[in-house]
Structure 1
Amino acid sequence: MHFTKVKGILSSKNGMNLFRGCTHGCIYCDSRSKCYQMNHKFEDVEVKENGISILEESLKRKRKKCMIGLGSMTDPYIKEELGLNYTRQALDIINKYGFGVTLITKSANVLRDLDLFEEINSKSKCVIQMTLTTYDEELCKKIEPNVSTTKERVEALKILRDEGIPTVVWLTPILPFTNDTEENILGILNCCKEAKAFGIICFGMGLTLRDGNREYFYSQLDKKFPKLKERCIREYGNNYVGGDIIDKIFQGMTTMDWQKCITI
């Protein structure tokens, strides 16, 4: 972990990342791609040390209230955050100035800030977006080794539900020959139904194979899924990819099937 100073923190669409890089170890992470110009080792997380003060100055000047987004590139609840409390400080400022918030995570540690989510949601709006990729706990540990298991994430979704915090699930990425089975997809959908998520986001379900991401993904396939790399290369080359089974599942599902799986 290292620190850097930045000139700005909010994007034009009011999104922000307090960190660059990640220690979750997900084998498919698009944020490793060279196009994002991360000039340091991915696991050596870069912390924007003045990000909190810049955020406060930005929100002071904003005339119109809006939703502030966290975690589009780096999970707000990486292990480093548990010692730094940058995400919590940011949420405190967002709450202080009456803005709404939405964040994307794969961590049950999101519950640490439940009190702030409740307060923000009572005055504005708070939506927690949770990524679920595998119904199989053992597979989860292989492709997302350093993050909360699917079971832990679903339990977090239930707690958020019980406390009145709206949740949405990202069903992505679907990896070829890995988690692209009907059993896995339906298992996740049933988890969403059980947790009463407000919706499922299927945008960008496939795996990206950009420079940087591609090399890491293939190296991890060699370690964890012998011979699978060669099969993926034969089938997809360097294209963006997604499991063929996904189209078959979704094309074959009627509206009634979807309603059985989840209440949107």
Structure 2
Amino acid sequence: MPATPIKGRGSLSNQNSRFDAHTRVAFDDDWPAAQEEPPWRPATTVTAERARSIITRNASPDIPFEQSINPYRGCEHGCIYCYARPSHAYLNLSPGLDFETRLYAKENAAEVLRGELSRPSYRPRVIVLGSNTDPYQPIERRLGITRAILQVLSEFGHPVGITTKSASITRDLDLLADMASRRLLRVFMSIGTLDRHIARTLEPRASTPAARMEAVRALSRQGIPTGVLVAPVVPALTDHDMERILGQAAEAGALDAWYALLRLPREVAGLFVEWLRAHHPLKEAHVMNQLRQMHGGKIYESEFSVRMRGTGVFADLLRQRFQKACARFGLNARRVELDVTQFTRPAEAASRQLTLF
């Protein structure tokens, strides 16, 4: 049965977790659908979670950070391409609609972080917020977990990088500007397309591309080092926007830029193809064929050195376009390095450990 788009949701279905013992498949039994039934719109539910640890360590050679924090599991933005979707399978939930409707909030994140930073064995390295799910997704407005984490990091003088596709980050301008003035913070705004109509179904509950660009401007005006992440680049669908995104971001005050090719690990591949068939059926073959050409004939290549950029003629062309556009608009000319030397444990934390002298 063809899947029907759900207003305000990226995924069209709730595909089973790969760990489920049973698989359920819908089929057309020729019975007419009840016309009076309203369309199904799953509500968002948030479950409070007590985290035992909060800092995740990363050893991937193609990711420029070693530590990250994710205040939430799942993401209400509903981006159909999100590479984090398969992580919901470990909760015995679907990477489809469950990922964007059944969310988990680490309510004690700030408290646990304070404890981890207070350990004598801890050595400061930049922490990134938003490596898996967006720290400024809609429920942050109500829960404020990300802000609480930033307050702890500010108190300890700990550097942090933030990646988001939400203009609501500007709600924390006071805190962000203070940390940036001490070289403790930088922001990357993710903008993969400027086409509002594509974005409305591709990333349905994220801020509009125009609102994100205005957030880049607002952050830059406050002296906050801000960059733009052109991601994901979807061949034959959004790749034509790359130069325009970089140009508008530079005009808004962005200092640097980065890009990443569409990644479709595990269940994300099926969900994305389902989305393409519903919203861009005439482009499905073109998009998927170009993606395969960039991944050596496969839909997804997991090798560290090529998974984000791809290989082949189209990947090389994309790389050249990006480099030339950055040079033209003055992006990546200088980089603001965050300062790890300011890290210090507050007196109340340090007093827990008696010194020998």
Partner of 2:256: 199
Which residues of structure 1 form unaligned runs of 5+?
none
Q: Specify whether residues 146 and 174 from structure 1 end up closer, same or farther in structure 2 by C-alpha distance, changes over 3 A only.
A: same
Q: Whole-Å Cα distance in 2 between the matches of residues 233 and 196 of structure 1?
A: 34
CA shift for structure 1 position 239: 2.9
Q: Could you tell me how far apart the structure 1 residues matched to 2:315 and 2:194 are?
A: 15
User: 2:300: which partner in 1?
Assistant: 239
1:10 aligns with 2:55: yes
1:217 paired to 2:294? no
Match of 1:187 in 2: 244
The one of 215, 221, 229 equivalent to 1:170 is 229
Alpha-carbon shift at residue 18 of structure 1 (Å)? 0.9
Which residue of structure 2 aligns with residue 27 of structure 1?
Answer: 80
Aligned equivalent of 2:110: 52
1:104 aligns with 2:154: no
Match of 1:39 in 2: 92
5 Å-filtered alignment, 1:43-192, equals: 43=100, 44-61=102-119, 64-181=123-240, 184-192=241-249
Question: Residue 281 of structure 2 is aligned with which of 219, 223, 226?
Answer: 226
Provide the residue aligned with 1:251 in structure 2: 320
Corresponding residue SS for 1:30: coil
| TM-fit CA distance, 1:201 | 1.2
**Structure 2 residue matching 1:91: 3-state secondary structure:** helix
- CA-CA distance at 1:209 after TM superposition: 2.0
- CA distance in 1: counterparts of 2:129 and 2:264, whole angstroms: 24
The letter of the residue matching 2:77 is: H
**Matched letter for residue 116 of structure 1:** L
Q: TM-score, normalised by structure 1?
A: 0.88
Deviates more, 1:129-138 or 1:230-239: 230-239
In the other structure, the counterpart of 2:6 is none
By how many angstroms is 1:189 displaced? Answer: 1.3
Question: 1:42, CA displacement in angstroms?
Answer: 0.6
Secondary structure of the structure 1 residue equivalent to 2:261? coil
Summarize the Cα distance change of 1:196–1:234 in structure 2 as closer, same or farther, 3 Å threshold: closer
How many angstroms does 1:35 deviate by? 8.9
Q: Matched residue of 1:72: which SS?
A: coil
Partners in 2 of 1:79 and 1:252 — Cα distance? 34
CA distance in 1, matches of 2:182, 2:321: 42
How far residue 249 of structure 1 moved from its aligned partner, in angstroms, is 4.9
Aligned residues: 259
Instruction: Please report how far the alpha carbon of residue 177 of structure 1 lies from its aligned counterpart in structure 2 after TM superposition.
Output: 1.6
* Cα deviation digits, residues 49-107 of structure 1 (max 9, x gap): 22221011112225544432111001001111111010111111111111122111000
SS in 2 for 1:118: helix
Residues of 1 paired with 2:326 and 2:139: CA distance? Answer: 38
Query: CA separation in 2, counterparts of 1:72 and 1:225?
Result: 28
- Structure 1 equivalent of residue 331 of structure 2: 263
Does the CA contact (< 8 Å) of 2:124 and 2:158 recur in 1? yes
Does the CA contact (< 8 Å) of 2:126 and 2:160 recur in 1? yes
Identity, % of aligned pairs? 31
Contact 1:196/1:262, CA 8 A, preserved across alignment: no
Equivalent-residue separation in structure 1 for 2:151 and 2:323 (angstroms)? 43
Q: Distance in 2 between matches of 1:180 and 1:246?
A: 11
| Cα distance change, pair 196–84 in 1 and its aligned pair in 2 (3 A) | same
Over 3 Å counting, the alpha-carbon distance change for 1:53 and 1:258 in structure 2 is closer
Kindly indicate which of the two structures has a greater share of residues assigned to helix: 1
Q: Distance in 2 between matches of 1:100 and 1:233?
A: 39
Tell me, in whole angstroms, the C-alpha distance in 1 between the residues paired with 2:76 and 2:88. Answer: 19
Which residue identity lines up with residue 116 of structure 2 in the other structure? Answer: S
Cα offset, 1:250, TM superposition: 4.0
